[in-house]
Structure 1
Amino acid sequence: MLWFVGMGLAGAGSIPADAKNVIEQAEMVYLEGFTSIVTESDERALEEMAGGKIIPARRWMVEDGKEILDNARTKKVVLVSYGDPYTATTHIELRTRAAELNIPTGSIHAASILASAVGECGLHHYKMGRTATVTRDPRAASTPYRIIYENLVSGSHTVLLLEYDQDGGFFLDPGDALGLLIEYEKEQRRGVITDELFAVIASRIGMKGQSIVAGRISSLKGYDFGAPPHAVIIPGGLHFTESEALSASAKCLDAPSDNSERMPSIPQQMVKKYVPMVRDAMKTIEALEDNPPEYGHVLENAGHYLRDAEEFMGKGEGELAVLSVGYADGLVDALRMARGIDRVQ
């Protein structure tokens, strides 16, 4: 049998009583330490529970899974991990493979950083959007950047997990994580990650020395957040009760601010940009002499499409708004090409 056991956020001291019983009765106990830091004192405490040596489970061992699954066929095996066992997709995949091999599995859940950090900051769980991971590789910044943007547009909060390299003893600093996103913003120029963006740095949640610091990125630059583990939360739309709770629970370098208020959707950005451009092109064509009579009908229809786009946008129907702008632009573009007018970008 294969048990998946979570240690929670405070290490071995926060292991549930049921989990202790499972560990004590286990024939083999693997300790996974690649998703977050596990201290030597936690290892010693687990060894005492298990009544023997704990087997370190490196990332490759859990991803490969062969040794763990082979032993679980005939022995009672436990895989212990920081937080909740199923926060890591690697563990879920291992459980799936065990089920396919008809190896019985069991689960003992514990506190996860995804839930605990949000609650400690006073934010509402039902407003959480997709989670993302920030790594030290600048090329990987596109995914968290896109997820932050999508969450902000919908008014949702984003939890950013930071890269941890067990073998190298490396934990990405929150300031460096925000710096990577700022650098990526310079390429995108969509106004997602700016100095005015309000962020929350949750450090050592559930441990001694817990710290929550919040403020605009401009205020967080150069701040010493202390030892890991850390998580970064980018709030979306803030209810007034969230702002009050955040002010009470965190060291706020700036007053909490709603990041979603200033974040237009892609349709809003497109309509704002292209409607004036199409209207200017229409005026240019209207000012020409000797336009055929049918040009007036085409321009009139283009004008209707632009008004439709603005009405759709007002109703929150962004896709229809973009389509309407596209139809108007296509009509005007055809007239422009017919008269040999260069397109103004």
Structure 2
Amino acid sequence: MLFFVGLGLYDERDISVKGLDTVRSADVVYAEFYTSKLMGTSIERLERLYGREIEILSRSEIEVDPSWLDDAREKNVALLVGGDPMISTTHLDLRLRAIEMGIDTRVIHASNIASAVPGITGLQNYRFGRSATVPFPHIARGKRIVSSTPYDAVKDNLIRDLHTLLYLDIQEGRLMSINEAAALLIEVAEGRGDSGFASSLAVGIARAGSEDICVRAGMLSDLRTYSFGPPLHVMVIPGRLHFMEAKALRILAGAPEELLSGYVL
């Protein structure tokens, strides 16, 4: 059996009781932390609480050569991942590979940022459109390339009065901040001649699931300089607001009253 065990949002204590029982009873325990990271803990703390040795898998061992799946033919194997296991298509691909190999699979769900954001901000979960990731710029043929995909996702959702959850890039040794993401979105918007986009309502969330969570709403341009503190960070660009959503952003995220007035449905 191959178990996909979600670890939740922030630290080693976010795992469910069912997940903890699964880890402790597994024959082999692996983990990957390139799709999501638990910023409030360490491998040592995970091993100490779970009472198990954990082998960390690289990105290539997950996506290119998951030969470790063979272990699950004869043993109970637990793969630990941040958040909820099936939010990432990477893990769905692994599950389908395992099933095609004749390996039984089971998913132990956990809290994740997509389900937590509505509760953190007060924005209603059914009013979120498609999400997107803000990637770091890259160099191609000597030219700096900034992806327009997140900007396009936001604009498409705004046409429908839907909110957009923006994940921020995670790379080896680099974790994108809300400040960087806001600046990149504005750069793309200005390149499209959309100078008003910088004045859009935006919400920044840092360290979801921790005791020192930071939630701040304001103009996107203001989020470029606001100090959100350590990662992980995500952003939301809201569409038009139900009056309860507007009230929630004012109380929970410090949104300016004058900014909200133009967003209420």
Same-fold call, TM cutoff 0.5: yes
Deviation at 1:139, TM superposition (A): 2.9
Q: How far does the alpha carbon of each residue in 1:146-173 deviate from its partner, in whole angstroms, 9 at most, with x for none? A: 11010000000000000011x32x1111
Pair 146,205 (structure 1): closer, same or farther in 2 beyond 3 Å: same
Greater percentage in strand: 2
2:253: which partner in 1? 250
Equivalent in the alignment of 1:224: 227
Q: Report how many aligned residue pairs link the two structures.
A: 258
- Correspondent of 1:161 among 157, 167, 173: 167
Aligned residue in 2 for 1:172: 176
Q: Which amino acid aligns with 1:139?
A: I
Matches of 2:51 and 2:198, distance apart in 1? 52
Aligned to 2:10: 10
C-alpha distance 162-171 of structure 1, shift in aligned 2 (>3 A): same
Q: RMSD over aligned Cα, in angstroms?
A: 2.0
* 1:202-255 residue CA offsets vs partner (Å, 9 max, x unmatched): 111111210100101233231111000010000011011100111111132564
C-alpha contact (below 8 Å) 1:121/1:250 kept by paired residues: yes
Counterpart secondary structure, 2:12: helix
Using the aligned pairs only, state the percent identity: 36
Please give the secondary structure, in 2, of the residue aligned with 1:141.
Answer: coil
The residue aligned with 1:113 is 113
| Alpha carbons 1:20, 1:49 under 8 Å: kept | no
Task: Give the alignment's TM-score, normalised by structure 2.
Answer: 0.90
Return the index of the structure with the highest Cα Rg. 1
Cα distance change, pair 27–248 in 1 and its aligned pair in 2 (3 A): same
Displacement of 1:39 in angstroms is: 4.9
Deviates more, 1:33-42 or 1:103-112: 33-42
Partner AA of 1:11 in structure 2: D
Q: CA deviation at 1:47?
A: 1.6
Instruction: Verify the 8 A CA contact 1:201 1:231 in the aligned structure 2.
Output: yes
SS of the counterpart of 2:147?
Answer: helix
CA distance in 2, matches of 1:253, 1:244: 11
* Aligned-partner Cα distance in 1 for 2:198–2:264: 15
Residues 42-87 of structure 1, C-alpha deviations (whole Å, 9 max, x = no match) = 4224323554421112222111252231111111111111111111
Summarize the alignment of residues 97-246 of structure 1 with structure 2, pairs less than 5 Å apart: 97-137=97-137, 139-165=145-171, 167-168=172-173, 170-190=174-194, 194-246=197-249
Q: Which moved more, 1:128-137 or 1:5-14?
A: 5-14
**What's the offset of the Cα at 1:37?**
2.5
* Larger relative contact order, structure 1 or 2 (CA cutoff 8 Å, min sep 6): 2
Kindly report which structure 2 residues correspond to 1:71-90, keeping only aligned pairs within 5 A, or say none.
71-90=71-90
* 1:280-316 CA-partner distances (Å, limit 9, x unpaired): xxxxxxxxxxxxxxxxxxxxxxxxxxxxxxxxxxxxx
Alpha-carbon shift at residue 93 of structure 1 (Å): 0.8
Which protein is richer in helix relative to its size?
A: 1
Question: Can you give the 5+ residue segments of structure 1 that lack an aligned partner in the other structure?
Answer: 262-345
The CA distance in 1 between the partners of 2:157 and 2:6, in whole Å, is 28
Change (3 A) 1:218 1:253: farther
Secondary structure at the aligned position of 2:197 is classed as coil
Distance 1:128 1:74 in 2: 42
- From the superposition, tell whether residues 253 and 60 of structure 1 become closer, same or farther in structure 2 (CA, over 3 Å): farther
SS at structure 1 position matched to 2:148: helix
Name the SS of the counterpart of 2:212 in structure 1: coil
- Alpha carbons 2:12, 2:49 under 8 Å: kept: no
Q: State the SS of the aligned residue for 1:252.
A: coil
TM-score, normalised on structure 1?
A: 0.70
After superposition, what is the alpha-carbon deviation per residue over 1:240-285, rounded to whole angstroms, capped at 9, x for unaligned? 1100111111132564355698xxxxxxxxxxxxxxxxxxxxxxxx
After TM superposition, the structure 1 = structure 2 runs for residues 22-61 of structure 1, keeping only pairs within 5 Å, are 22-39=22-39, 41-48=41-48, 50-61=50-61
**Contact 1:30/1:55 (8 A) holds in 2:** yes
Whole-angstrom distance in 1 between the partners of 2:134 and 2:60: 21
